[in-house]
A and B are shown apart, each in its own frame.
Chain A
């Protein structure tokens, strides 16, 4: 069974429950409410169990699109990502459980389900179908904040991802056409050849290679294609940012690992992302904006590792993806907890939370230590593997850039934890509300603590993750003297620098100009072009054609009876009634009798129809959608 399908069906059933809920009386309302609440917990739990029961080398075909699609393909690589996806999905659902309404869960199920669909897709078309749903679902999550700013940010997010999707689609179509076994004109125009040849493999033609790389690159936030990320994530509801920090970029990392391992461009792009992200992150004041730029930076590590190629590089990238999902999810959860209680996420207005919100502070510190790569925390492990992979491939440029980025990471998370949580902020003491701040409810605390525990566990026992990596990893001694001393040097020096010059790092509002400035200019220009040029020309052209008509009429001699045609047809209905009366085409008795009989039976019919009509449109909608679901299920079983 496909775990993604469980989520997708869960979303459909949840919609159905919601539709039913609207029409029920108050008494049963609460029962339905609990039903959907139980359902919200059960769906991710079921997907979790099913994923842990999956065995590699499962292949399932589907003929839904009339093509032999490999709808479900499991091997060690996507199973590795699948484990962490369902685990963190379950935890985030619990985290959001009490805060969000059903609609949030519908879209998050769609989102998680479609990203699992991307993971387990065995061919390009299935991959693309889920990829597009994965672009749409988080857009709705952003829109759920219902504020002007987030509506527009979601719209930009969707446009960006649609562009990515279209690039991907173009690449896929070129792939389908020019692959030797692709579509052939001739005896069997729709034959796609041997289905086994459509397993995801590296694109063959140069153009499709570039297009697919760019399409995936939008989701992986390649520099120049990254602006959607720091734009949209801080404007989403904070629960949605937790979800989004996990899935979109990481499925892209998985896709890169599948399709483009060992591509030099990818390696250097990764290193650039790591540096670029960290540089912009250091300048941010808003918590989630800082974290968003750090997603770019950390995804840069993974992208670089995959670009380095070899089994070691891909392993390193995927291991870092798993660790990053844990600690970045945790960071967003902690930031979310602060936003939930304080309604504030500007670092300049935060501080001294350690007493008020101890659990949140501890988890934030654990996550910050993990992302910075401090020994005993999981970031250290995967960063060591990545360095090893860079060494192994003799790519010292990437190696040095990544080291530099990790210094920046450490600095910006010193800033994050110190200014956001630990420091004394005198200006806060005066606020009356400040003394009323409490720790977040248990349903948020538990997932945070579990993830913090996992960060430590995977840091102290790296075997845990290494044993499920897709490729065998030779013995690495993470806690060797050499590694530890190297880390200690860098981190201690940076720590010293930070505390000596922390005034310099103090957060303040800073307007940072990213590339989206240019993109918005381009967008405004194109819309101006449509509005003020093309549409105006079209209107003028229409008017010109319209102007011709009176002349044409004049030359045909109709002018004298201007409007007669219109008048005649205006009264057309009446004319036909009259003619049918006057001409007596049929026996008047027969016609009238028939008409009367038809008329009265139609009146009866309409009376009967009105009885069926309960007035609850939702009931019809529900009935039809359930019917549709049944039909699709039957078809699924048949094919």
Chain B
């Protein structure tokens, strides 16, 4: 019963938001934070069962069309749900202060934030493909309102692009889901390989899934909406979009490769994996290369997200226990790091109004705490050891060389992937480095600041600082002690590679 409660608690609480907003204006943010907190702790309470290798199934509902809808939590779902609830909790604590100033349509933001949480948790906890699809579409629509929150022309344009691509992707995904049900008569996500292996339509169905989920994940030719929509949303929403919601796409691709088809079924169609492999490599390089050219911090972070999604997909398509571990850990770690980076960027914008990278020089003197957190996240993203980004880099890199043992890839492909992985690490340094050193050590250049005393310490207050500090602490903790995470990912990869 618990998974249903977790998923629908935000959904039903969402409808209280307008009422609260009506009675006590501007206080609904506290309510949202409270709900997310409850969600997080409820998710955590599943941990003992998950560690005992149990699967929590609940909410069987038969709408009478011959297909069941239900929720099912295994180790992988748990991990995705956990990080979603965690980051959502922090982002909503952060929005108490951040959105407080923008009283305009605060209720709408809070309402749709909770609805998106339902969508995301539903995606993570779905037991079969149809449930997954429904929540996936729900997430797309709910998140649209977060994207256009600012209501500027640019936001509406970005939102339109997002919505059209999202719905188009959803329709293609639906085709594949229907085809899967029609051919195999099942869509249960606990199966490994649903029996599409022999079917002549298999490649088309595969690409349907990849396009549907890939649009959300920001894979290379379909990434156009991402760098427009992510930076334009309010910063906590950007953190959620970039940290969590694109992972819905990554998670979907994982389920596609490992559950819907099963990794052994690609022996006859290995070109499917190989082309996805090439796409992921292009995504890594393209995201980093374009990020170097950006002048606005949130845009840069969005392009960096594209590149990092490439890492995750690379980990999934290499089909080895180690690379799968790397991919899943990177879903988790990237959520922490990128969430943290967007919250830092949001704090810069909220406290000083500076969006351009060149204006941020000398920010370390004015906001030492936030700049310290930003530095930690940036170096974690580059992959410096003892920070959590390194753990994912390490396992992904080990996976690239392991790949030839399964037989889908030659050892040269593995080496190329390794090279690109490490090159991207260098590119990360090239665009994060100047922000860090100019932030700490360069003189303050921008005098057109809203606050009169520009040397004043303008570190944010409690509600904005706590999420940043917690995320920074997580970055260090999971970098030095990744065992907690590795236990879970080992459990996951053991279910797929028995």
Contact = CB atoms under 8 A, between A and B. Distances in A.
Interface of A: 63-66, 125, 128-129, 132-133, 136, 143-144, 146, 148, 151, 154-155, 158-159, 162-163, 166, 169-170, 173-174, 176-178, 183, 185, 189-190, 207, 527, 529-531, 534-535, 538, 541-542, 545-546, 549, 552, 565-566, 569-570, 572-574, 576-577, 580, 591-592, 594-596, 598-600, 602-603, 605-606, 609, 612-613, 615, 617-618, 620-621, 624-625, 627-628, 631-632, 635, 639
Given A573-B108, A599-B23, A166 B426 contact: yes
B176 to A, nearest CB: 21
A148 B320 CA distance: 46
B107 A621 contact: no
B290 A535 contact: yes
Interface stretch (B38-46, B261-269, B338-346, B480-488): B480-488
The secondary structure that dominates the B interface is helix
Given A573-B111, A602-B28, 19 more contacts: A64-B481, A133-B386, A151-B438, A154-B437, A159-B426, A173-B400, A185-B402, A531-B292, A534-B289, A535-B292, A572-B145, A576-B111, A577-B19, A595-B16, A603-B24, A613-B462, A628-B477, A631-B477, A639-B483
A598 B31 contact: yes
Interface residues of B, number: 97
Contacts of A538: 286, 290
Interface of B: 15-16, 18-24, 27-28, 30-31, 34, 96, 105, 107-108, 111-112, 144-145, 148, 151, 156-157, 159-161, 163-165, 224, 227-228, 286, 289-290, 292-294, 320-322, 369, 379, 382, 384-386, 390-391, 394, 397-398, 400-402, 405-406, 415, 418-419, 422-423, 425-426, 429-430, 433-434, 437-438, 440-443, 459-462, 465-466, 469-470, 473, 476-477, 480-483, 486, 490, 493-494, 497
Nearest to B13: A598
Contact of B22 (A174, A565, A577): A577
B224 A530 contact: no
Nearest to B429: A162
29 contacts: A65-B391, A146-B441, A155-B434, A158-B429, A159-B429, A166-B425, A170-B419, A173-B394, A173-B418, A177-B401, A185-B321, A185-B402, A189-B321, A190-B321, A190-B490, A566-B156, A566-B160, A569-B145, A572-B112, A573-B105, A577-B19, A577-B22, A599-B31, A613-B461, A615-B462, A617-B460, A625-B473, A627-B473, A628-B476
Given A129-B386, A177-B401, A531 B27 contact: no
A152 to B, nearest CB: 9
Given A129-B386, A177-B402, A566-B160, A144 B290 contact: no
Contacts of B433: 155, 158-159
Contacts of A565: 163
Contacts of A155: 433-434, 437
B20 A573 contact: no
A615 B462 CA distance: 7
A66 to B, nearest CB: 5
Contacts of B473: 624-625, 627-628
Contacts of B320: 185
B483 A63 contact: yes
The 8 closest A-B pairs by CB, nearest first: A573-B108, A595-B19, A535-B293, A129-B385, A613-B462, A189-B321, A599-B24, A577-B18
Nearest to B438: A151
Which one of A189, A625, A635 has the highest number of Cβ atoms from chain B below 10 Å of its Cβ? A189
A542 B425 CA distance: 25
A541 B401 contact: no
Contacts of B144: 569
Given A151-B437, A183-B398, A602-B20, A609 B462 contact: yes
A387 B284 CA distance: 51
A236 to B, nearest CB: 12
A463 B46 CA distance: 66
Contacts of A612: 462
